[in-house]
Structure 1
Amino acid sequence: MRGVVCAALTMLSLAWPASARDAAIAVPSGEEIHWIETLHDTQGPEGLTLRFRFLAPAIGGANPVSAEVAQQDMAALCNDFALPRVPSPGPKPAQIIISLSERSVPFGEADEGVVQYFEAYSIADGSCVWELF
């Protein structure tokens, strides 16, 4: 079953055109956010996990967006960007992880010079529900 899920998710991610990475995604703060990638091959503590990674240059630098504002943007990204991309039919992920990064950093690598935010969500009643991460 795991192979079928991975194959379905891989086909879904390949279906997103490269131009989707270039287009800015609307968020409540109005900041410029770009989708980097979606990872589905790393198991989370709660089971099947989809990780949506985004570039958000405004969270760092001289006049950074606050963590509170970034949190609102991540909730909107979960509901408006990630949820519509959850495969259906298919198994529902136990968690959706949304991450914002000031600059692109390879998954799993730390860079003390780059501001990054992460939030975890479960899915209930067709909406993202914030989970303590």
Structure 2
Amino acid sequence: MIRACLPYLMGAALLPSFAFAMADVADLALPSGQSVQMHEVLTQEDVVRFRLIAPEITRDAGGLKYADVELDFQQLCEEYALDWLDEKALRPEQIVISLADRAVPFGAADASATQFFEAFSRDGARCVWEQF
């Protein structure tokens, strides 16, 4: 059961710290060279999910494949998610970073969308990859 849903609302007066922290994700220089945008952050008991839009990923020829963006997950976790969690004083057991080529409602199936996921646990200032 989802306890709280904290979507990114640009300019939302009620969530000024979210808008500030989440806007920084677009400024990260990711190893793949892609630019990503925050879609939403979902908190769920001991899991926090960072859902990002990465329009350059694809399963088709010409776009970024999983192997091209694999290192992006670690960087997004360590240089974005951990700071966000510290700012909110949250210590989840698991951090999930997901990239999708378009917005897909959480839990919904969309066969035409490309989505990649990685899960991490925290070890101080490091994210430790957790195999699903």
Range 88-97 or range 115-124, more displaced: 88-97
Partner residue in 1 for 2:47 = 49
Supply the distance in 2 between the matched residues of 1:82 and 1:66 (Cα, whole angstroms).
Answer: 22
Structure 1 spans left out of the alignment, 5+ residues = none
Partner residue in 2 for 1:122 = 121
Q: Which letter does structure 1 place at the counterpart of 2:18?
A: W
The number of residue pairs the alignment matches comes to: 120
For residues 35 and 21 of structure 1, do their structure 2 counterparts lie closer, same or farther at Cα, with a shift above 3 Å needed?
Answer: farther
Supply the distance in 1 between the matched residues of 2:81 and 2:70 (Cα, whole angstroms).
Answer: 15
- How far apart are residue 65 of structure 1 and its match? 1.0
For residues 77 and 89 of structure 1, do their structure 2 counterparts lie closer, same or farther at Cα, with a shift above 3 Å needed?
Answer: closer
3-state DSSP class of the match of 2:19?
Answer: coil
What is the TM-score when the length of structure 1 is the normalising length? 0.77
Asked if structure 2 preserves the Cα contact closer than 8 Å seen for 1:21 and 1:34, the reply is: no
- How far apart are residue 95 of structure 1 and its match? 0.5
Q: Which letter does structure 1 place at the counterpart of 2:110?
A: D
Partner residue in 1 for 2:77 = 78
- Identity score, percent: 37
**1:69-112 alpha-carbon deviations (Å, 9 max, x no partner):** 22211111001110101146845110000000011101111100
Partner residue in 1 for 2:12 = none
What is the TM-score when the length of structure 2 is the normalising length? 0.78
Pairing 1:131–2:130 present? yes
Partner residue in 2 for 1:31 = 34
Superposition RMSD in Å:
2.7
Q: Which letter does structure 2 place at the counterpart of 1:110?
A: A
Asked if structure 2 preserves the Cα contact closer than 8 Å seen for 1:24 and 1:34, the reply is: no
Pairing 1:17–2:16 present? no
Q: Segments of 4+ in structure 1 off by > 2 A?
A: 21-26, 87-91
For residues 91 and 83 of structure 1, do their structure 2 counterparts lie closer, same or farther at Cα, with a shift above 3 Å needed?
Answer: closer
